[in-house]
Amino acid sequence: MTTTIRQTTPLKDSDVKKLEYKGGKFSKYALGGVANLYLFIYKPNLKGSSIKKYKIKINANFHSITDEYNQEMVYPDTSLNKARHKVRILQQELIQKAKESISPNFDKLANEYFKNRSNKIAIKTAEKEQGRYKNYIKETLGDKPINKISYKSIVDLLLNIEAKFTRETSERVKMVINGIFKYSLSLGVIEANPTPTTSVFYNQQRVSKPRSAIIEPEEIKELIRSINTYKNPTVKNALFFTMLTAQRQNQILNLKWSNIEVKNGITFIRFSSEIMKMKRTHLTALSSQALEIIESQKTFRVNEYVFGMVNNKGIMSDCTMLQALNDMGYKGKHSTHGFRATFSTIMAENEHKHNLSSELIELCLAHSTTTIKGKVASAYDRSFKLEQQLMAYEWYSNFINDLEPLQIAKFN
């Protein structure tokens, strides 16, 4: 048996000095002043002295309280005030652990957010938002408790998206993240929204001007219509070829007829290391639409270059295609390099449709390395995955052509 003595008012140190063993294995006193703090006075030893231990009550069980040296707190070695202070700290830690243990992960709240929002917005808008979540956010943040996601982790994610795709893509992903956190805040699940504001985020993190790129299907459709009406047939075909292959402008301008090869029924381009940014040979499979452009250019073959020009150098100027886009009204909106961002964004946002890996998309873009699922993976291998590349380019070319048919220039 044990003896329990309950106090109606908080005890003072002078009161604690008077507490005595009352019988049983120990006598237990509620000290007050802070919830669940007790003093256990054990049966005296043969010399008549009793050990007095502070204990904290947690879920009906009593636990010893230890100091910074991991020693049990006993009275009078540890003062009553110090014991109460320690209990307050322990209680705050317990509350925090309890919150963390019941805090839902980001993915659960994201799904609730999309469900709650589905009846308030257009179906296409809902699909786009959910697609951005799946393609850009879920893998990085989905499994994390929402109250453990920091400002820095969101900034790192957005900067990675901007570097790989476009700032516009990064901003739209940020809007989805912000919406999920605002929804969670309204439920009381979190106390603050860690999503950075656009102005603070970009002013602090980025100072260079991003490349211009059009990534929305409706805008891509209008761009195709503009190129369809462009008068110069070689420039027109070069623009379409850049769009369909997503290669760098330098590669397109320096593309020679001798670079085109066929292997196992697949027509591809062997770009030499001299013209590649990463100074490695790169192979690019050609879709049926890209092949149609090649066949058209054959009928107007002026020199060794596929998109050769009748001028002193025999090669298209590096500003010709950009000037054509500017003339169409796309100055500051889209560039030749922007076709790469268009390709990567469309492929990323439609991964659930084509079921092709992000590693393959990086390979198509001739990126030397890419961080995928926390690992650095080489985007090159000995086979260059021509069969898989062809699947990617065929899907993308069909997607583009379905938006607005490409009117490839024909030569008389």
Residue 136 pLDDT > 90: yes
**Which residues, including other chains, have CB under 8 Å from residue 269's CB and lie 6 or more apart?**
245, 255, 259, 260, 261, 283, 284, 286
Tell me the pLDDT band of 269, cut-offs 50, 70 and 90: very high
| pLDDT higher at 268 or 79 | 268
Residue-wise pLDDT for 50-96, tens only, equals 888 988 887 777 888 888 777 888 998 888 888 888 888 888 877 66
Q: Tokens 């120990």 identify what position? A: 26
- Identity of residue 163: A
Q: Does the structure show a pLDDT above 70 at 357? A: yes
pLDDT for the residue 268: 96
Q: Is 59 left (phi over 0), alpha (psi -120 to 50) or beta?
A: left
Asked if the model's pLDDT at residue 203 lies above 70, the reply is no
213: confidence class by pLDDT, cuts 50, 70, 90: confident
| Encoded amino acid at 274, one letter | E
Residue from 115, 210, 121 nearest 161 by CA: 210
pLDDT at 342: 93
pLDDT category, 200, cuts 50, 70, 90?
Answer: very low
* Average pLDDT score over the chain: 85
Give the best-scoring range by mean pLDDT among 177-186, 363-372, 397-406: 397-406
Say if residues 134 and 352 touch (Cβ distance below 8 Å): yes
Write down all domains in the chain, each with its CATH number in brackets.
3-102 (no CATH), 106-205 (1.10.150.130), 217-403 (1.10.443.10)
Rounded percentage of the chain residues whose pLDDT exceeds 70:
88
Please determine, for residue 209, whether its predicted confidence score (pLDDT) is greater than 60. no
Model confidence over 174-189: pLDDT tens digits? Answer: 999 999 999 998 888 8
| Residue range 323-350: mean pLDDT, rounded | 92
Q: How many other CB atoms are there within 10 angstroms of residue 30's CB atom? A: 18
Is the model's pLDDT at 9 over the cut of 80? no
18: pLDDT confidence band, cut at 50, 70 and 90?
confident
